Structure 1
Amino acid sequence: MSSFKIPVSALIVIHTPDLQVLLMERADKVGYWQSVTGSVERLADGTLEAPFDAAIREVAEETGLDARQYAFSDWQASNVYEIYPHWRYRYAPGVTENTEHLFGLELPAPLPVQLAPDEHVRYEWVDWREAAKKVFSWTNVEALRMLGARHGETL
């Protein structure tokens, strides 16, 4: 069984009704802020986990929150991006692109979260516009723009 990551992932924008967004700083890259993200996994029977299920799992792993207890939605959108060279070793040789599926999780208010210390070192709740300036990934910026548009706002 391969230990390489599968180049299909989920990005989950966790936000409040007034568009405060949860951002987390990566443990392996100081200054790299992001929403919850993670790759799908191969299940015990050899099939691939659905992006929807991966999103729920990643929210739990990275924040301690159960997405099923809140307004969790599949935005029916995805982006294909080039995997940063410094992270390509995680994927099979020759894999250079990832398909990222977008999801939203609306919480009633900013909640404290339990970070996975091997993945993130700190978190903060910020206005969605500030979040779009702070995240390192263009796909995360696009997801934040989508969040604003879903609420009649623009950057």
Structure 2
Amino acid sequence: MSGRPWKIPESVLVVIHTPTLDVLLIRRADAEDFWQSVTGSKDDIDEPLALTAAREVAEETGIDCGEGSALASQLRDWRLQNIYEIYPRWRARYAPGVTHNTEHLFGLCVPERLTPRLDPREHTAWRWLPYREAADACFSPSNAEAILLLPQFAQ
């Protein structure tokens, strides 16, 4: 894999939302029709999931919800997980024989529709949508299902 370490098949999905249940979606750079929530794999097998979630939110949107930040208390582990088959187009990023990923669900409530700062190598556009519309816009069924759970996890 040309010097890059294999991706760890354990990841987070973070549904970023407002108190009124508007959801931030970002469009993947490597798949123009794929809108999604923040996602990302652990950097290290021992990395705590909350740290993975906060890191991925910062990397993909520029929103700081890490320990000590103003939004740290708004990052919530929903204590749910999905196990799904890795799309064949991305399987080469994982060690040979790895076909499934375990995804842990988180929510992050932000006070209003913030303007994210995207890394154009990863994401090319963003939009805020009411949660039901956001679920309909997601390419990933597990992401859509997570967004539809938002009313029961939002406080």
- TM-score, structure 1 as length reference: 0.91
Q: Which amino acid aligns with 2:129?
A: V
Letter in 1 for 2:54: I
Tell me what 1:64 maps to: 62
Query: Unaligned regions of 5+ residues in structure 2, if any?
Result: none
Corresponding position of 1:99: 102
Structure 1 counterpart SS, 2:149: helix
Task: State the partner residue of 2:33.
Answer: 31
Question: Does residue 52 of structure 1 match 2:50?
Answer: yes
- Cα distance between partner residues in 2 of 1:53 and 1:107: 18
Count of residue correspondences: 148
2:12 maps to 10
Aligned identity (percent) is 52
Cα offsets for 1:61-105 (capped at 9, x unmatched):
001111142211111111000000010000000000000000000
**Structure 1 segments (4+ residues) deviating >4 Å:** none
Residue 56 of structure 2 aligns with an amino acid whose one-letter code is E
Cα distance change of structure 1 residues 151 and 104 upon mapping to structure 2, 3 Å threshold: closer
Distance 1:60 1:150 in 2: 22
Q: CA deviation at 1:151?
A: 5.2
Contact 2:17 2:108 in 1 (8 A): yes
The two structures have a TM-score, normalised by structure 2, of 0.91
Distance, in Å, in 2 between the alignment partners of 1:85 and 1:8 is 17
Secondary structure at 1:67's aligned position in 2?
A: coil
Name the amino acid aligned to 1:54: T
* SS at structure 1 position matched to 2:50: helix
CA gap of 1:106–1:151, structure 2 versus 1, over 3 A, is closer
Shift of 1:149: 3.1
Letter in 2 for 1:98: N
